[in-house]
Amino acid sequence: MKQNGENRLEGYTKMPELPEMETYRRLLQERLTGQAITDVSVQREKTINIPAAAFEEHVKGTAFSTVERRGKHILFRLQSGRVLLLHLMLGGFLYWGTAEDKLDRTAQMTISVGRHVLYFHGLRLGYLHLLTQEEAENRLAKLGPEPLDPLFTAEQFTRLIQKKRGVLKAALVDQHVLAGIGNCYADELCHHAGILPLRRIPSLQPEEEKRLFHSLQAVLHDALEHGGYMETPFFRGDGLTGGYNEHCRVYDRGGEPCPRCAHPITQDVWSSRKVFYCTGCQQ
């Protein structure tokens, strides 16, 4: 198992989900709110949506107003009125440091705030787009509700998944159904609820749907408390980010004994996605 802190500096190959992006949002909000952007460097133009010179001109010299999250996206709201919309996709991660303690790998983007630098790593598929407020809202308009919104109820959850007729995991990772859930937490919440992720939705009983909603809340809150499953710390000496790696019960645990019943965990492939579950205690 990987340990927290400075020893976890390996590359990252998973797609960050709600707990990982919310952990980033909280850490970024603490460091960036009200801070002026003193420098911008674009190493990979495909990461952005306008020419690098124009991007740097619009961003450099303005300041961060606030940092928000929507699903798997982070929105850096700038005092200029523009928005930087970030999606890390598969393999992307963030690092906060200085020129002296940066990671030994190339960043696709850097944004400097005085002597500190926000490094955007692994954005081969991800992006950081400069948008107007309206453009950002349009990009995110079709996302489903936030699972941890205090106003999101078990009844709403049930209505959303009952609109789907296929496999449970397909509904859980559909961003138009719920915003922010991906492979890891779909499998984790299904295990918590004792329900197989490949069950057909019409076969679910009302009591099972209630269990799924409870498990959704419990697993996401637990993952947030432990900093998500990122493998690279956000800053040197960071002991929070990635702490949930040690708490995953089935995800990436194929062949290991189930922590609930000791039956070997099954690793399967569904619709080109890995899926992990226990046939001993999930039905």
**pLDDT tens digit sequence for 163-206:** 999 999 999 999 999 999 999 999 999 999 999 999 999 999 99
Q: What's the rounded Cα separation, in Å, for the pair 189 and 187?
A: 6
Q: Per-residue confidence at 141, pLDDT binned at 50, 70, 90?
A: very high
Predicted confidence at residue 1, as pLDDT, reads: 33
Query: Is the predicted pLDDT of residue 10 greater than 90, yes or no?
Result: no
Q: Per-residue confidence at 38, pLDDT binned at 50, 70, 90?
A: very high
User: 68-124: per-residue pLDDT in tens?
Assistant: 999 999 999 999 999 999 999 999 999 999 989 999 999 999 999 999 999 999 998
Q: Is there a catalytic annotation at residue 135?
A: no
- Kindly report the CATH class assigned to 18-140: alpha beta
Q: What's the rounded Cα separation, in Å, for the pair 192 and 209?
A: 13
- Catalytic residue, chosen from 8, 14, 17, 169, is 17
Reported pTM:
0.93
Handedness of CA 195, 196, 197, 201 (dihedral sign): negative
User: Residue written as tokens 């019943």?
Assistant: 261
Q: What's the rounded Cα separation, in Å, for the pair 226 and 157?
A: 25
* CATH pick for 154-277 out of 1.10.8.50, 2.60.40.10, 3.30.70.1880, 3.40.50.620: 1.10.8.50
Predicted confidence at residue 231, as pLDDT, reads: 86
Q: What's the rounded Cα separation, in Å, for the pair 212 and 193?
A: 6
Predicted confidence at residue 14, as pLDDT, reads: 79
% of the chain at pLDDT higher than 70: 95
- Catalytic residue, chosen from 60, 199, 236, 273, is 273
- Catalytic residue, chosen from 14, 25, 69, 72, is 72
Q: How far is CA 214 from the centre of its chain?
A: 20
| 3-class secondary-structure state, position 120 | strand
Angle among Cα 258, 262, 267 to the nearest 5 degrees reads 40
% of the chain at pLDDT higher than 90: 93
Q: Are 122 and 16 contacting, i.e. CB atoms less than 8 angstroms apart?
A: no
- The domain spans of the chain are 18-140, 154-277
Q: What's the rounded Cα separation, in Å, for the pair 56 and 66?
A: 19
Averaged pLDDT, 264-277: 95
Mean pLDDT for all residues in the chain: 94
Predicted confidence at residue 6, as pLDDT, reads: 32
Q: Is there a catalytic annotation at residue 16?
A: yes
The token duo for 83 is 């928005």
- Catalytic residue, chosen from 16, 19, 197, 233, is 16
Of 44-48, 229-233, 274-278, give the lowest mean pLDDT range: 229-233
